[in-house]
Structure 1
Amino acid sequence: MDDSEAPEILLTNDDGIGSAGIGALHDALDEIGNVTVVAPADDQSAVGRAMSTEVGIEEHERGYAIAGTPSDCVVAGLEAIGPYPDLVVSGCNRGANLGEYVLGRSGTVSAAVEAAFFGIPSIAVSLYVPTGDMEFHEIETDREDYAEAVRATEYLVEHATDAGVFEQADYLNVNAPLPGDEPAPMTVTRPSHVYDMDATHNGDTITLHDRIWDRMAEGDIEDPEGTDRRAVVDGRVSVSPLTAPHTTEHHEALDEIVESYPDR
């Protein structure tokens, strides 16, 4: 592909610019587009759409390291660094971002949402890493683990825009399994509604616990067919087409109480 025809891609993440996931994506996307990396200098997992007013910037062998959040990186990349991209890709995250409740919490997804508010098509990409009996922080990944996530991202970058996908979706939330004996199929999904957080009071501390990960490790998930979590646990690449602005619905009950609001 001629450089003049290649898409301009802004690549970011929330695991930090030195992570294996962004390295794997960078090398693959660099073959099909002009990639500019603007990513956090260190791990910014689960910061959501937190935004700074001023951030430091340093050149890095992969691009630009920002002392800030994924959303900071998108704004900095679009408005201060350039070139202005045709597409923003966020990832690949070490750990899945599945379910409605995660969308606002994930730094990976939040970078895609930030781009969507600028009107730039975006793709958030994450890797499902089964924990088994281990704690998540004990699990390490290397470049080969991201093969399915990279393959899916390359395909979507090459085909989604021309196919008109972003005429209806603002961004895609992609979750891929680890590589298996056969290539993983891809399926369109919706975010799961299942939510299972709990908290335990221990003296002067409270421990917050996302029990969804325990369920996934045990294979005990109630997510139905068609949801993102079910697809990934079953070994498929999940692609959820999503919109960024919050939607509003007409509620007659709210109309009634607003009409009754006292004027003094």
Structure 2
Amino acid sequence: MKPKVLLTNDDGVTSAGIWAAYEALSPIADVTVVAPATQQSAVGRSISIFEPIRTYEITMNGVPAYSVGGKPTDAVIIGLYSLNLAPDLVVSGVNIGENLSYESIMTSGTVGAALEASNQGVPSVAFSLQVEDQGDKFDDPSRVTDRFEETKRIVRDVCERVLRDGFPEHADVINVNIPSKVSGGYEVTRLAEKLFHTGVEKRLDPRGRPYYWIDGPLFEDAEEGTDVHAVRMGNISITPITLDCTALRAADRLADIFR
């Protein structure tokens, strides 16, 4: 029997990225798509607890799928506990835009869905594709989808390896970032600290009242061994992520302070 895969994302059920992942995985797995109805980027592990979650069975590209009126975490929970899918693996992505560094994975809905799956006891892999124009994250332009053939090969290869060899001990999520132009191979990495130089742009509306956009350019590079550096060098970054956020190295000092 084929392994079962629950496929989700944060770009929405109509995103070209999730259907590229479906095409990559359907020959090797029994894939069920359960994804947000609309764009949900940067919602992290946000969860809907103050409003009902409506779910509709739809058909996309001739394939039945579930459109969830909520967050990526909601989609995972619906798939696990309402649809009772019992997957062997949860795959989140392919996200349009890289998810690199502490900064990005803490807000990423793509990684958030994978973390939720792992928290519920299902191993998970998150896939993201680097874009050169940050506006592409919301547009799915042809210059991004043209690169999906190579991306599909990587998604299938990574998942085949994980399903064959088992999930690595001490990791809860495998975060995979694919450069816009792959010129190297796989590189196991650690998270960089930052991805963006955070800034705020102030503007005035037609009535002269201020409003703000959070913005800022990307970091050009980071130290060797990090996910940011690997992708900048054209390598496919493979980062093991853990749910345990305990800062163990601070425990002794904290014990001294509160002795």
Q: TM-score range by the shorter chain?
A: 0.7 to 0.9
Q: What is the identity, as a one-letter code, of the residue corresponding to 2:158?
A: L
Q: Equivalent residues in 2 for 1:42-191 (5 A)? A: 42-53=38-49, 54-61=52-59, 62=63, 63-131=65-133, 135-136=135-136, 137=138, 140-141=141-142, 143-178=145-180, 184-191=184-191
- 2:7 aligned residue (7, 11, 14): 11
- SS of the aligned residue for 2:94 comes to strand
Distance in 2, Cα, partners of 1:248 & 1:191: 15
Aligned to 2:207: none
1: CA distance, partners of 2:140 / 2:82: 36
Q: Unmatched 5+ residue regions in structure 1?
A: 216-220, 260-264
Matches of 2:252 and 2:188 in 1, distance apart?
33
Question: Is 1:197 matched with 2:185?
Answer: no
- Give CA deviations for 1:42-90 in whole Å, capped at 9, x if unaligned: 1111111110132111112141000001000001101111320010000
Code of the aligned partner of 1:225: E
The one-letter code sitting in structure 2 at the alignment partner of 1:55 is I
Shift, 1:150, TM fit? 1.9
Partner residue, 2:217: 211
Q: CA deviation at 1:7?
A: 0.9
Post-superposition offset of 1:223? 0.6
Contact 1:149/1:176 (CA < 8 Å) preserved in 2?
yes
Decide whether aligned partners of structure 1 residues 245 and 139 sit closer, same or farther in structure 2, where only a CA change above 3 A counts: same
Which runs of structure 2 are paired with 1:222-261 in the superposition (5 Å)?
222-249=221-248, 250-259=250-259
| Cα distance change, pair 86–176 in 1 and its aligned pair in 2 (3 A) | same
The answer (yes or no) to whether the contact 1:125–1:149 under 8 Å persists in 2 is no
Q: CA RMSD in A?
A: 2.1
Please list every run of 5 or more consecutive structure 2 residues that lacks an aligned counterpart in the other structure.
205-209
Structure 1, residues 150-183: CA drift from partner, whole Å, max 9, x if none? Answer: 2222112111244344323111111112356x6x
* Identical columns (%): 37
Deviation of 1:191 after TM superposition, in Å, equals: 1.3
Give, as a single letter, the amino acid of the residue that structure 2 aligns with 1:190.
R
Q: Distance in 2 between matches of 1:64 and 1:8?
A: 16
Q: CA deviation at 1:125?
A: 0.3
TM-score normalised over the length of structure 2: 0.86
Q: CA deviation at 1:255?
A: 1.9
Counting matched residue pairs gives: 244
Aligned equivalents of 1:139 and 1:56: distance in 2? 25
Query: Which amino acid in structure 2 is aligned with residue 236 of structure 1?
Result: N
Query: Secondary structure at the residue paired with 1:14?
Result: coil
How far apart, in 1, do the equivalents of 2:127 and 2:32 lie?
A: 17
Residues 164, 33 of structure 1: CA spacing in aligned structure 2 closer, same or farther, 3 A cutoff? Answer: closer
Q: Which of 16, 19, 24 matches 1:23? A: 19
Q: Which amino acid aligns with 2:42?
A: A
Shift, 1:230, TM fit: 1.5
| Kept after mapping to 1: 8 A contact 2:17/2:96 | yes
Instruction: Indicate how the Cα distance of structure 1 residues 210 and 148 shifts in structure 2: closer, same or farther if over 3 A, else same.
Output: farther
